[in-house]
Chains A and B, each alone.
Chain A
Amino acid sequence: MVTLKTFYLLINQLIAIKSFARFQKMASEELFSAEFSEEILDKQDDKEEQLEIVDEESEIVAEVKEIETESADIAQAATVEKANSTSENSGPEARLFQLPLTRIRNLMKLDPDMNIASTEAVFVVTRSTELFIESLAREAFSYTTQSKKKTVQKRDVDLAISSVDSLMFLDGAMNF
């Protein structure tokens, strides 16, 4: 029963995050379009800077190619990942990640707007989640030491969340 409730709250959270992301998107789109039109103006007016722009363009083309090859790899990568996650868990070489990739992928699939995530993307999300856990733990621990204690309490986590700007999105997500 408790888990079911948690699930609904997670979904609610997702919806809240979606609207937040849309707001961000609106803001960043404005920025992007401003940048873009500047670039176009540059192209038309400043022929002296053309070389530079050409460089930029080729960079972009290279980037696009990279992305295309990446997405072309997905069908392959999907099978590779399966082999990978099983063998890497038992492999002698140092583990690249500790959280389960499938669990992370399932979480990512909760996003109705997401179609496919490349294996590399899932890996990066997994790793960044690990980094996130570590940094949040450290942040919380700083409040623990401030109160001269050795055990991190939930209060410390809450304090960390409300005091760090980049953790703002968690505000209100923790009250269930």
Chain B
Amino acid sequence: MVERIEDLNLPNAVVGRLIKDALPEGANVSKEARAAIARAASVFVIFLTSSSTTLARKQNHKTITAANILDALKQLEFESFVEPLSTDLEAYRKAVKDKKDKAKSSSATAVANNSSANDEEMETEKTS
């Protein structure tokens, strides 16, 4: 569970950067406005989670999946988010998969090295 209450606030610096990136150059954001947007984002997370849980429960799933979140977004009139999110999700899946493959390939190369060493041993045995 949450250990400190500050753990519930989204980091100010990141929120500030996200806002800055969204606005044209020369635009400023007051501290209060940034705090308000950060709070709104926290509430958004809770709201989205709650709707997704409801959807997951309807399907008799205990685990919330990415599909549940996307469905919930559609239901909450945030359809415009769904398309960019789908591409992001694909990129994320790919990144995770690459990571797995890397881990696998590094262990696989170790195995391959072993087996090639074995082969060499076999060959040397044969030649001898």
Contacts and interface: CB of A to CB of B under 8 A. Distances in A.
Interface in B80-113: 80-81, 84-85, 88-89, 91-93, 95-96, 99-100
Contact of A151 (B5, B28, B64): B28
A119 B44 CA distance: 18
B41 interface: yes
A120 B2 contact: no
Interface stretch (A37-45, A46-54, A101-109): A101-109
B92 to A, nearest CB: 5
Given A96-B91, A115-B63, A125-B69, 4 more contacts: A21-B54, A83-B99, A100-B14, A169-B43
Contacts of B125: none
Interface size class of B (residues with CB under 8 A): 35 or more
A70 B96 CA distance: 13
In terms of DSSP, what is the predominant structure of the interface of chain A? helix
Interface residues on A, range: 35 or more
A13 B37 CA distance: 16
Contacts, number: 247
Contacts of A131: 81, 84-85
A169 B69 CA distance: 17
Contact of A113 (B57, B73, B96): B57
Given A137-B22, A174-B39, A7 B17 contact: no
Nearest to A93: B95
Interface centre among A107, A108, A136 (most CB of B within 10 A): A107
Contacts of A93: 95
Interface of A: 3-4, 6-7, 10, 13-14, 17-18, 21-22, 24-25, 28-29, 32, 63, 66-67, 70-71, 74, 77, 80, 83-84, 87-88, 93, 96, 98-100, 103-104, 106-111, 113-121, 123-125, 127-138, 140-141, 144, 150-154, 156-158, 161, 165-167, 169-170, 173-174
